[in-house]
Amino acid sequence: SQCEDEEIARLIPAAQEAFLTQLFEVGFFHADPHPGNLLRLHEPTQDGATLALIDCGLMASIDPRDRDNMISAVIHLANKDYPNLVDDFIQLKILPENSDRAAIIPLMDKALSPYVKGGGAKKYEEELKRLYGMEEGSVQSQVGGFQAMTQDALTVLNDIPFSIPPYFAILGRAIVTLEGIALTGNPDYGIIMESYPFIARKLLREDRPEIQRALQEVLYSGDGGRELKLSRLLALLNNAAGTVATQEGAAFVDLDAVPEDGINFSDGLKFLLSDKAESLRGLLETEVESVADILSRQIFRKGVSEALVTLTPPRPPTLPFLGEIIPSAPKLDEIPLPLLLPNIGDDGINRPSVAVMTIKSFTDLVAPKLNQDEEIYAIGLAEAASEFFGENVAEFVQGEGLLSIKTVELLIGAVRSGVLGRSDIVSNDVVQSLTSFVGDTLQSTRGTSNQMETLLSDAIEGLSSNERQRLDDIVNELAKRILRKLVDRLSGVERVL
């Protein structure tokens, strides 16, 4: 109560973090956080704390299930998803299960949207007047807007049988008190938007089923799609780091927008491999396998096609009236060839065997053609690759120009950077020496530097030993799964040896 406004503004993040931790992590919170119960410390503690709470006579607890439902409600409120917010309110016992959604959702928009935008009671009133068309100096609009507002209030009171859980009243008091203090230091403060980074970090960290469901809802498209939206993943990582992009012309979170001033690739990789992203790694485990499968199939098919075009001899000349003197060569991809195929037994040992098949048949089995959804997904992955690593990597992801020096440089750079992990094959001294020699030779002869290798190397060097070990484990496990999928696809091929 004795602090200057500027000092309060500096303390807002600490007070907010303390309250959110009590509310969503511990489930036991200080219900009377007025200015007299908040003490600014003259010197930070050994842990770096700058704020202390006193007078814990009024406390309240919230059970884990209600905390999870409140987290879901904050997510839906922050991105203006009122249909799902109705479900949250039903779970919280605020609304009955047979609620009239058609009547409730428009009222939610009018009552809650101004609150999410922040700014306290004054700005809430201004926004409410705007929503009801109440223009200053116009008696007619003022009267009409007041009548509409009264009608909505009567609808809420008479037609919507809402109830307030016992702990909600005391929670509301605590939130209003804290918001009042925060508005002193920041007139535009709004707790819903300000708390979203905390919620994002919690979603990425915890692996409980309830949190996993909320995380899936954020990362996957809201139209029932089953494919991960890469833009949402990048946006969520930025949200957790404290950078939140809002919808154009509004104050709500844009789940699909990646902030322009967001985190870089190195910070994103480090976060993904840290203890703070345990929940996300669990969710992405099968997703990464799917991404690797889609990209490997696309790259393999286009690579084979490019190789066949390069190796196919030109058509023999034709003479007028006589046609082809020399018959055309058969299509290379339709010639049966003996191929050495992997064959992993139940003991895990690979015993290669020989089958006779065409390149076309082999390609269709090993790398089935992408369906429409997979092609759209691959385009999104290429766009992300272009944003982080440049056009060369994007072209490689799309399977373009695979038989080129640029592709060799990219692969050599990936091996030398360490992003492919420390498997027995990649870590071999001979392989490392060879890749270093080839990479250095290409750079010296072409006079260029591998931008991707630099970016990846910097990101790998920034990892701790535990994070690096996680990366190695993920890469090795992914390689095993891809090999197993390849063997399964070839299992039905008849072998001759």
- pLDDT, residue 22, reads 93
Count of alpha carbons within 13 Å of 156, Cβ hemisphere only?
14
Condensed to tens digits (0 to 9), the pLDDT of residues 135-177 reads 776 766 666 766 776 776 666 666 677 888 877 888 988 998 9
Q: What are phi and psi of 193, to 5 degrees?
A: -70, -35
- Give the CA-trace dihedral at 448, 451, 456, 462, to 10 degrees: 100
Distance CA 278, CA 283 (A): 9
Higher pLDDT, 338 or 381: 338
In the structure, what pLDDT confidence band is assigned to residue 20 with cuts at 50, 70 and 90? Answer: very high
- pLDDT, residue 28, reads 93
CA 173 vs CA 23, 32, 64, 176, 187: distances in Å: 13, 8, 21, 5, 19
Higher pLDDT, 148 or 289: 289
Condensed to tens digits (0 to 9), the pLDDT of residues 168-220 reads 888 988 998 999 999 988 998 888 888 888 888 888 888 777 787 888 888 77
Q: pTM for the complete prediction?
A: 0.69
- Provide the mean pLDDT of the chain: 77
Q: Which residues contact 81 (CB under 8 A, 6 or more apart)?
A: 75, 222
Could you tell me where the DSSP H helices lie in 206-314? 209-219, 230-240, 265-272, 278-311
- pLDDT, residue 30, reads 92
pLDDT at 286 over 90: no
In the structure, what pLDDT confidence band is assigned to residue 425 with cuts at 50, 70 and 90? Answer: very low
pLDDT at 40 over 70: yes
Q: Which residues contact 456 (CB under 8 A, 6 or more apart)?
A: 413, 414, 417, 418, 419
Count of alpha carbons within 13 Å of 374, Cβ hemisphere only?
15
- Give the CA-trace dihedral at 265, 280, 245, 379, to 10 degrees: 70
Report DSSP letters for 303-355, one per residue.
Answer: HHHHHHHHHSPPPPPEETTTEESSPPPPPGGGS-EEEEE--B-TTS-B--EEE
C-alpha 419 chain-centroid distance = 20
In the structure, what pLDDT confidence band is assigned to residue 379 with cuts at 50, 70 and 90? Answer: confident
- pLDDT, residue 350, reads 65
Long-range pairs for 83-88: beta carbons < 8 A, 24 or more residues apart: 84/217, 85/112
Condensed to tens digits (0 to 9), the pLDDT of residues 221-258 reads 555 455 667 777 777 877 887 777 666 555 677 776 76
Report residue 236 as tokens. Answer: 């969520």
- pLDDT, residue 440, reads 45
Condensed to tens digits (0 to 9), the pLDDT of residues 81-118 reads 888 899 999 999 888 888 888 888 888 888 888 888 88
The arithmetic mean of pLDDT across residues 332-343, rounded, is: 80
- pLDDT, residue 122, reads 83
- pLDDT, residue 402, reads 55
Question: In the chain, pLDDT over 90 holds for what percent of residues?
Answer: 4
- pLDDT, residue 324, reads 60
**Residue positions counted in the chain:** 497
Count of alpha carbons within 13 Å of 75, Cβ hemisphere only?
27
The arithmetic mean of pLDDT across residues 275-302, rounded, is: 81
Question: In the chain, pLDDT over 70 holds for what percent of residues?
Answer: 75
- pLDDT, residue 237, reads 79
3-class secondary structure, 149:
helix
Condensed to tens digits (0 to 9), the pLDDT of residues 452-496 reads 667 777 777 888 889 888 888 888 888 888 878 888 888 888 877
